């Protein structure tokens, strides 16, 4: 296939990718960012490809200078999309400076005197830098999964192709297009092919990234309580069931806390429901701040929360529960003072279902309320209740 066909294929791919991302954008939540930018960057590269196709028919300014810069701006746009997706600013400052430098170089190599080799050096050097930096940005996306690894690999491979083209052009002595060594001519074809397909391959990668982000978002909406960020009751019970089933459950200790804010009705009555909501959120944040990575917190009902400590000796769980009591007592600026009562069920042998453990913790919570609130009571589901 001749370079001309590759250029037209690139343009078609670019238009399709732009269309897909710009169409998807409206259906995605605003906090999954970068889709529109990615779409416009693809459109820019498609436009550049169409202008490249005019080579020999239109002046060099239109068919080489402008599209070369548009391609660089498009790749910088892809890089900015990845950064926006990762929750950062687009970070366009140095790519913009690089494009201005490229423009200065291209003016010399296109408009002052015709030097194809210098243009190849400028553009492949700049693009290698932009692609490599994009690979780095994708690699740094938090919670990296297959989609990110794949996209980073494509960015990296395209950067390597650009670098090879740069090195090959550097090795060519003659500045005229006709005398360019055969290696660069072959590489030029490979470059065209790489470029055409990398737009599609990268767009598929970014599509997988945004799709995974959306899936995580939906899963979180389905399983998390929006006010407190804790697991919803059903999701928490499913996780508790999972911890109680299986052989491992019989061999490791497990503790469950049931917590209930004290006199919460009075807080609502005196300060209003919205302040009550803020107290619930504040308490949930305090709980999360003292928990460890594997501990799970769920909202069981209005102002009732559950915490599961998997594989945790009772003394450790008790120490954390005490820290929760203290954190609640400490209070928060702008909120009424509040306390919490906690019932803790200790399981050391397994062989019990979720409902029975919750019942046991609920019993201990009731004991804590009856003994004056703002305290912790322990129970071993065999029935023994001990004040802590």
Tell me which residues touch ligand GTP (CB under 6 A).
260-266, 268, 273, 276-277, 280, 302-303, 369, 373
State in angstroms the smallest separation of the CB of 289 from ligand GTP.
21
Q: What distances in angstroms separate CA 84 from CA 105, 142, 330, one per listed residue?
A: 30, 12, 38
State in angstroms the smallest separation of the CB of 374 from ligand GTP.
10
Q: Which is nearer to ligand GTP, 67 or 298 (CB)?
A: 298
Q: Which is nearer to ligand GTP, 262 or 282 (CB)?
A: 262
Residue from 367, 362, 364 nearest 378 by CA: 364
* Residue 292 burial (CB count, 10 A): 10
Bridge partner residues of 377 (DSSP): 343, 387
> Are the C-beta atoms of 219 and 158 separated by less than 8 Å?
no
Q: Which is nearer to ligand GTP, 219 or 269 (CB)?
A: 269
DSSP classification of residue 62: I
Which two structure tokens, joined as six digits, stand for 373? Answer: 């609130």
Distance CA 300, CA 94 (A): 50
Q: Which is nearer to ligand GTP, 67 or 343 (CB)?
A: 343
State in angstroms the smallest separation of the CB of 234 from ligand GTP.
17
Which two structure tokens, joined as six digits, stand for 111? Answer: 């408009």
Q: Which is nearer to ligand GTP, 280 or 308 (CB)?
A: 280
> Are the C-beta atoms of 377 and 343 separated by less than 8 Å?
yes
Q: Which is nearer to ligand GTP, 243 or 282 (CB)?
A: 282
State in angstroms the smallest separation of the CB of 218 from ligand GTP.
23
Q: Which is nearer to ligand GTP, 4 or 273 (CB)?
A: 273
Residue from 257, 344, 265 nearest 303 by CA: 265
State in angstroms the smallest separation of the CB of 19 from ligand GTP.
44
State in angstroms the smallest separation of the CB of 343 from ligand GTP.
12
The residue nearest ligand GTP at its CB is 302
- The beta-strand segments (E) located in the chain are 254-261, 296-301, 304-309, 340-347, 376-380, 384-387
> Are the C-beta atoms of 368 and 333 separated by less than 8 Å?
no
Distance CA 136, CA 139 (A): 5
Q: Which is nearer to ligand GTP, 78 or 230 (CB)?
A: 230
Q: Helical H runs in 252-349?
A: 264-271, 273-290, 314-330
State in angstroms the smallest separation of the CB of 36 from ligand GTP.
36
State in angstroms the smallest separation of the CB of 338 from ligand GTP.
9
Q: What distances in angstroms separate CA 214 from CA 29, 197, 207, 218, 220, one per listed residue?
A: 8, 26, 10, 6, 10
State in angstroms the smallest separation of the CB of 273 from ligand GTP.
4
Q: Which is nearer to ligand GTP, 144 or 370 (CB)?
A: 370
């Amino acid at each position: 296939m001749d370079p001309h066909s590759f250029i037209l294929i690139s343009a078609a791919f670019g238009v399709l990718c732009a269309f897909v991302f710009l169409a998807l954008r409206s259906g995605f939540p605003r906090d999954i960012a970068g889709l529109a930018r990615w779409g416009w960057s693809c459109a820019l590269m498609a436009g550049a490809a169409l202008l490249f196709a005019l080579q020999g028919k239109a002046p060099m300014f239109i068919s080489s200078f402008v599209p070369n810069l548009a391609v660089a701006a498009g790749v910088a746009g892809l890089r900015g999309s990845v950064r926006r997706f990762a929750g950062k600013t687009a970070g366009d400052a140095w790519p913009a400076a690089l494009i201005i430098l490229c423009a200065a170089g291209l003016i010399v190599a296109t408009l002052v005197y015709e030097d194809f080799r210098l243009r190849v050096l400028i553009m492949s050097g700049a693009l290698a830098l932009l692609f490599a930096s994009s690979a780095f940005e994708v690699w740094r996306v938090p919670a990296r999964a297959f989609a990110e690894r794949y996209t980073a690999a494509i960015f990296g491979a395209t950067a390597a192709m650009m670098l090879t083209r740069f090195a090959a052009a550097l090795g060519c002595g003659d500045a005229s297009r006709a005398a360019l060594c055969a290696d660069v001519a072959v590489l030029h074809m490979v470059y065209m092919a790489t470029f055409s397909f990398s737009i599609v391959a990268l767009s598929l990668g970014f599509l997988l990234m945004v799709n995974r982000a959306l899936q995580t978002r939906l899963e979180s909406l389905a399983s998390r309580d929006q006010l407190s960020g804790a697991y919803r009751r059903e999701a928490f019970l499913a996780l508790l069931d999972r911890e109680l089933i299986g052989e491992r459950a019989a061999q490791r200790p497990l503790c469950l806390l049931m917590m209930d804010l004290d006199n919460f009705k009075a807080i609502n009555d005196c300060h209003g429901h919205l302040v009550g909501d803020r107290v619930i959120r504040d308490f949930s944040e305090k709980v999360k701040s003292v928990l460890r990575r594997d501990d799970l917190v769920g909202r069981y009902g209005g102002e009732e929360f559950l915490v599961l400590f998997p594989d945790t000796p009772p003394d450790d769980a008790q120490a954390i529960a005490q820290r929760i009591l203290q954190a609640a007592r400490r209070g928060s600026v702008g909120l009424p003072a509040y306390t919490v009562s906690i019932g803790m069920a200790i399981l050391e042998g397994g062989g019990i279902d979720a409902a029975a453990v919750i019942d046991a913790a609920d019993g201990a919570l009731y004991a804590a309320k009856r003994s004056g609130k703002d305290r912790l009571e322990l129970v071993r589901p065999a029935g023994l209740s001990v004040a802590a």
